[in-house]
Amino acid sequence: MSENTVIELNNVSVIYDQRHVLDRINFSLEIGEFCYVIGKTGAGKSSFLKLLYSDIKPDNGMIRVADFEVSNISDRKIPHLRRRLGIVFQDFQLLPDRNVYENVAFALRVTDHKPKFIKNRVMEVLGLVGLSHKRNAMPADLSGGEQQRVVIARALANEPRILLADEPTGNLDPEASSSIMDLLKQINNRGMAVLMVTHDYEMVRRHPFRTVQIKDGQLHEIKVI
Ligand SMILES: Nc1ncnc2c1ncn2[C@@H]1O[C@H](COP(=O)(O)OP(=O)(O)OP(=O)(O)O)[C@@H](O)[C@H]1O
């Protein structure tokens, strides 16, 4: 793997009940790259992302993410891998009984950072997503777009080099989707690699980046026109 490669898959398969959802796929992502993953419902997009944060194991092949050989990773090392990744899902998964500040700080408390560092870092990432003024709000009092911004702030708190986003705009109206997309582009411009699963071809057309499609177990580079 070249030193610029942050994700690499070689000959990777995922088989559920004898069906090859992913069949010997190859893929690599470089530092600072932005790449969409598209494909029909059930094509295997979420399975592809789950491989990367070791939520599922491949049936064969080699997977490297950051400095981890994920295809062989021990259970003990999985939390370390996940701390190197920012992970953003469609359903927001905020802690409903904690305010915005605490939802982001939570991600840092599992590490051994000092309280002052945590405070500064939380305020920095809330500033980055434009929500410093909402730090005391509870998740239920935020719009869907604002909640997704908090999820992104939390994902950024540990300064990952890679952001994995599974349909991050799936539940949002066009305006909120567009502003989340602008935020992801801004984060990418700061040097973070972004791998984003989406169904939204219109979004891919409006914000064109490298695009791969998963279809019939294969992964292909495509152009969305
Ligand atoms: N744990 C599992 N056991 C058996 N089959 C599974 C499992 N997880 C996923 N599948 C099946 O594998 C296929 C791929 O699922 P996956 O969630 O990766 O697709 P997807 O492209 O993300 O779909 P969507 O766009 O609907 O989210 C689907 O047919 C799904 O039903």
Q: Domains in the chain, ordered, with CATH? A: 1-84+178-225 (3.40.50.300), 89-159 (no CATH)
Q: Give the residue, 80 or 171, on which the prediction is more confident.
A: 80
Q: What is the ipTM of this complex?
A: 0.95
C-alpha span between 155 and 78 (Å, rounded):
16
The CA-based dihedral angle spanning residues 166, 171, 175, 179, taken in that order and rounded to the nearest 10 degrees: -30
The residue to which tokens 């194991």 are assigned: 57
Structure token pair of residue 117: 């560092």
**What digits encode the pLDDT tens for the residues 161-208?**
999 999 988 878 888 888 889 989 999 998 999 999 998 888 899 999
The CA-based dihedral angle spanning residues 93, 94, 95, 98, taken in that order and rounded to the nearest 10 degrees: 180
Q: Which of 38, 47, 49, 167 to mutate to test the pocket of ligand 1 (most atoms within 8 A of CB)?
A: 47
For residue 48, which atom of ligand 1 is closest to its CA? 18
C-alpha span between 222 and 225 (Å, rounded):
10
**What digits encode the pLDDT tens for the residues 97-118?**
999 999 999 888 877 889 999 9
